Every structure is written in C-alpha cells, then in structure tokens.
Chain A
Amino acid sequence: MLVKILDIVIAGLLMGGIYALIAVGLSLQFGVARVLNIAHGEFIMLGAFITWWFYTRVGINPLVSLAICGPILFTVGFVLYRTLFTRLRTSSPSPAAFEGNSMLACFGLLFIIQNVAILVWGAEMKGYSYLALPVNFGGAIFAANRLTTLGFAIVIGSVFYLFLARTRLGKAIRAAAQDPATAGFMGVNINQVLALCFGFGALMAGFGGTLISMSYNIQPTMGLEYTIIALIVIVLGGLGSIPGSFIGGLVLGLVGSIVTYTEPGLSLVAYYVIFMLLLLVRPTGILGK
C-alpha cells in the first residue's frame, strides 16, 4: 500500500516538474508580454525535435542539447516579438485588443510551425532511448531519465526565479509585468524587456521540449496538448506568478497521476474539469491576488 502511494506521488511529481517548467514559460509570455501564446506547445515540439535530431544524427547528448536548444528558441521568440508582436502592439487600439489579436496571430504561428515540422521531419512518432535505467525508490521503480528531468526542471525553475528576484533585468521584467506604461516612464526599455520575456518563454519551452524528448515519444502534432496543460497550470497557479506555476504544475501532475491510477483515460477529463471549475470559481488561481 505504502509503495503504491509512493509510486503515485513520485510519478505525479515527475510529470509535474515538466508541467511546471512549460507553464513558467507560458506565464512569462502571457503575464508580462501579454501574448497568450497558443503556439507555446509548438516551441516545445521544436525543442524536442531539435534534440532528437541532434541525438540520432550527430550523437549529441540530450543534456548538452539543452544548451543548444535554449538559445535557438530564445532567438526565435525574441525576433518574433520584435517583428510581429511589437507591430501588433503599436497598431492595436487597446491592451485588450492586443491580447485578442496576438492570440489569433499565435494561432497562425501554430499552423505554420506545426506544418513546417511535418514537412521537415514527417508526421510519424519519433523517439530515442537515453538513460532508460531503472532506479529503485523505496520499492517504487522509476526510469533514470524521468528523475533527471525532474532535477533539471527544478534547477532551471529556481535559477530563473533567482534571476527575476535578484537581478536588475529581473526587476525591470517584474515592473513591466505590473504596469508596462509606468515601467516605460521609469526608464525601462519596454519593447526590449517584453521581447526578452517572450524569448525567455520560448527558451523555457525549448528546455521543456528537450526534457520531454528524453522520456516520451514525440510527434509534430504533440504541441497543443502541452499548450493546454500549461494553460491549465498557469490558471491554477495564478497568471504571471512563477512560484504559482511551479506549485500548480506539481499539483496538476499529482492529480493526473492519481486519476490515471484509479481510472486511466480520464486524466485529461479531470484536468479540464479542474480548469473549468477554477475559471468559474477562482480565475485568479491559488496564489493570485
């Protein structure tokens, strides 16, 4: 019995770590840059495929790929914001109009990225085996790659949190999150900061993709599911809150693991039920104001 509980809890935490990481990215993009990036999952997919491609073709270790995928996706995100979204932001009459327009532009991006990926890599499922060793955890057995994933997710999340809390740029980002206009008056180069945030969001998605590809099969159409999970997590944790995203991710991972144990196949339904109840009862999330 105890082993079973341990089994469920650890499986939930392992899944929750990835959820948290990808949610932090979306939270930055939506909470600060005000772009509800429906294409977030496509950036995750890109990260996963670049890692897979490097590992199977060139033989680069997936953990080294983290250092390659991150910067690539950061650049893509940064450039996208500087070109597409900055233009939309200046041409939209109100912040609410920008939220709507940028989300719709992200739909366009979703179609573009997904279908380019299908053209380049094909629509089939891909996967590779890396660190698939069993690790015994007080009777419960887990693959080493999943534990590595959780470890990296926690490290990346914490480093990013410290960056936001302690550095000058982090302060500028937090100021922009609270009030972009006032932050601009205080000398924050607002276009630059928002673009950086969007880039960091894509960076997190890239890290998430690399880690996901280590233990799960990947496919060009995998993105939407992760986008939805990230959305649920940021609503659960409160929009724009990094610790909230982490707690939300772990909670959702645990819920998923419990539901999968009792009634496999209903875990996604359970996510949506939680999501919709939250939106109705407490749209600001657990840690929201």
Chain B
Amino acid sequence: MGIATFTTKRSLLSGSMILIILFLLATLPLYARGYTVVLLSSIFMYIIITVSWTIFSGPTGYISLAPAAFFGVGIYTSALLGKAISLPIVICIGALASFCLALLVGALTLRLRGIYFVMFTFGLVELLLHFVLWWEVNITGTTGRVVSTMGNTAVYYIMLIIFVILVITATLIKHSKFGLALQSIGECEEAAAHTGINVTALKTITFAISAFFIGAAGATMATRWTYIDPRIAFNPLISFMPVLMAIFGGMGQLYGPIIGAALLTYLEEFLITRFPYYYMLIFGIIMVVAILYLPNGLVGLIQRWRKGGLKRRHADT
C-alpha cells in the first residue's frame, strides 16, 4: 500500500471522526441531562478562551495576560445592550469591541518584547477593572448589573457555533502562509522581519483575531450569569486559566489546548463545590509540575508515547 492512500485513508478516518463528534455534540441537548449541557457550555467557554489564546501566543511566544480584558469587554457589551438588541447582534458587537480594543492595544504594545508585554497586558486587565469599578461607584452610582438571560440550551448552541468557527479559523491560520509567518516570528523576530514579513501588522491582527473570539464567548456567557459586576467580569483568573490549560494540554497541536481546557474545566467543576480552596491549590501544583516535567504538555506526552510504540513495532518486524 502506498503512502498516499495511507494518508488519505487516515485523513478520511479522522474527518469522519470529527463529523461524528460534531453530530453527537449538536444533538446532545435532546437526550442529555440539563446539568451536562451546562457543564459542556463551561467547558466550551474555557476551550474557546484557551484556543484563542493559543492562536496568538502559541506560535509567537508572546505570553498575553489580556484574555480577561477581552472577556470582560464581551460581558459588559452583553450587559449594556442585551435588553435593547437581539442576542446574535449583541454577541457580534461584543466580539468586535474586543477586536478593536486588541487592535489598539496591539498596535501600541506589540513593539514591547518578552516580559514587558506580559506586564502590560496584565496591567490592562487591572486598569479596566478599576476604571469600571470607579465609574460605577462615582458616575452610575450602582455597582453590578442584571443581564437578561436566555435558556441553557441556547447558550450551549451558541458556544458550540463559536467553537466550530474558532477551530476552523485556527486550522486555516495554522496551515497558511500566515501561520508560517507567525511561527517564524516566534523563532526569531529579526530574521522574520528581514524576510519581508510585516511583523507588527501580523502580530496585531492575530492578537485581535484571538480577542474577537474571547469577546464573543464573554458576551454569550454573560447571559448565563444573570448578575455581573466589574470583579466578576474582569477576573484576572480568566487570564491565568488559558495559560495553564494551554501549557498543560500542549501547544504543538490544535487538539492540545482543547484537551487541556476540557480536562481542567471538568476537574474544576468536580472540585469547586467540594473543596473550593484545594482546587486552586491543585491547579497550582499542576502548573508547576507541567512546566517542570511536561515541556510540551499532554500532546508531547502522547506523541512521545506513540513514537515509542512505533519504534517498538519496527523493531519487532
């Protein structure tokens, strides 16, 4: 059997696998319990944030701690406009608002290298949090607001749609000239610039694309929480989690962050009601262990294990 038929067969197999999984996910609310739908929506939320984070930070190596800012912008869009406009439009506006904020921030800051960029993005979240807090206390007079809600199933389907669009976008970016250019920025930014890549523009656009999806997820999830205030909307944890999940899952393959986010969100759901403090403790330990012993995350582990398996098979024949 030629290698060509082998690869087409394999891609056919994984293609049909993906279709089956999608079909199962799409029909899930018909037969699953209400809780499963809610849980899966949370898992999708973290998957969307983590995969979006990985689109930009994975290949370029710029560690962004801004997701909470974009997520919060989405949430506030939903809270402010949710009553007046229909939801799909609100979600688009939330996503676009995040996109514009990211364009602005990216154009200003992506000249900064390494640790300065990390500090700046982290400062952005806290700046927005304290500004909105001050605004609500002094100008509006009330902190927190009520968000008009919709059903759990609707939230689930919207998150699923965002997820599918995001995965398609991420795949297209990864396998295009665009993705290759991002990769080269991560390897050596000067060399990338010298080969004719417009480094700043590329980084800014990618940063904004990743913010777009985070904003959309924020606008959608806000409708599930019914009540929000600045501390919920701009929670720095939303910035730390995708980093942890992406590192735990591994950033080499697209499925890495997805697996990482799904596993850790499930762990969070499992632990948070029983041991609220232990769960953050466990997350901390996972983070340190992952950085020390799993430099390429779970994906790296799977690949090493598969390679080992293949070698053994070759030795047998």
When C-beta atoms are compared, the residue in chain B nearest to A280 turns out to be B108
B137 CB contacts on chain A under 8 angstroms? 265
- Asked, given contacts A103-B63, A279-B120, whether A272 binds B291 with beta carbons under 8 Å apart, the answer is no
Q: How far is the CA of A96 from the CA of B187 in the complex (A)?
A: 12
| A275: interface (CB < 8 Å) | yes
Interface string of B163-177 (1 = CB under 8 A from A): 000000000000000
Interface stretch of the complex, out of B205-213, B236-244, B257-265, B308-316: B236-244
Residues of chain B from 59 to 74 with CB closer than 8 A to chain A in the complex = 61, 63
Most interface-central of A87, A91, A112 (chain B CB within 10 A):
A112
Assuming the contacts A107-B240, A114-B280, asked whether A269 and B127 have C-beta atoms less than 8 A apart, the reply is yes
Q: Which residues of A contact B115 (CB under 8 A)?
A: 30, 36, 99, 103
User: Are A272 and B243 also in contact (CB < 8 A) when A87-B292, A108-B285 are?
Assistant: no
Is A228 an interface residue when CB atoms closer than 8 A count as contact? yes
Q: Which residues from B are CB-within-8-Å of A99?
A: 114-115
Partner of B243, one of A30, A107, A280: A107
| Cβ distance A244 to chain B, nearest Cβ, rounded Å | 16
Chain B contact residues: helix, strand, loop or mixed: helix
Contact with A along B269-308 (1 / 0, CB 8 A): 0000000011011011111100110010000000000000
Task: Flag if B118 contacts A107 (CB, 8 Å).
Answer: no
How many residues on B have C-beta within 8 angstroms of the other chain's C-beta atoms? 40
Spell out B's residues near A (CB within 8 Å).
61, 63, 108-109, 112, 114-116, 118-120, 122-124, 126-127, 130-131, 133-134, 137-138, 236, 240, 243-244, 247, 277-278, 280-281, 283-288, 291-292, 295
| Residues of chain A at interface, number, CB under 8 A | 40
Q: Can you offer 24 A-B residue contacts whose CB atoms are under 8 A?
A: A30-B115, A84-B292, A87-B292, A99-B114, A100-B114, A103-B118, A104-B287, A105-B288, A107-B284, A108-B283, A109-B288, A110-B284, A111-B280, A111-B284, A114-B280, A228-B126, A232-B123, A265-B133, A265-B134, A268-B126, A272-B126, A272-B130, A279-B112, A279-B116
Q: Is A170 part of the contact surface with B, judged by Cβ < 8 Å? A: no
Question: Which of B116, B281, B288 touches A115 (beta carbons < 8 Å)?
Answer: B281
Instruction: Tell me, yes or no, whether A273 is within 8 Å of chain B by CB.
Output: yes
Give min CB distance, A287 to chain B, whole Å: 17
Given contacts A99-B114, A235-B119, contact A280 B138 (CB under 8 A): no
Write the chain B residue with the least CB distance to A105: B291
Cα separation A159 to B94 with both chains bound (whole Å): 53
For residue B132, which residue of chain A has the nearest CB? A269
CB closest chain-B residue, reference A235 = B119
State A269–B133 Cα separation when bound (angstroms): 10
Q: Known interface pairs A115-B284, A266-B134. Does A276 touch B120 (Cβ–Cβ under 8 Å)?
A: yes
Task: Point out which of B119, B122, B133, B283 has the most chain A C-beta atoms below 10 A from its C-beta.
Answer: B119
Q: Which of A62-119 contact B (CB under 8 A)?
A: 84, 87-88, 91, 96, 99-101, 103-105, 107-112, 114-116, 118-119
Is A283 in the interface zone, CB < 8 Å from B? yes
* Closest chain B CB from A281 CB (angstroms): 11
Other CB < 8 Å A-B pairs besides A109-B288, A112-B285, 10 of them? Answer: A30-B115, A96-B114, A99-B114, A104-B287, A111-B281, A111-B283, A112-B281, A116-B281, A275-B123, A276-B120
What distance in Å separates the Cβ of B129 from its nearest Cβ neighbour in chain A? Answer: 9
Contact A109 B284 (CB under 8 A): yes
Which residues of chain A are within 8 angstroms of B63 by Cβ–Cβ distance?
100, 103-104
A91 to chain B, nearest CB (A): 7
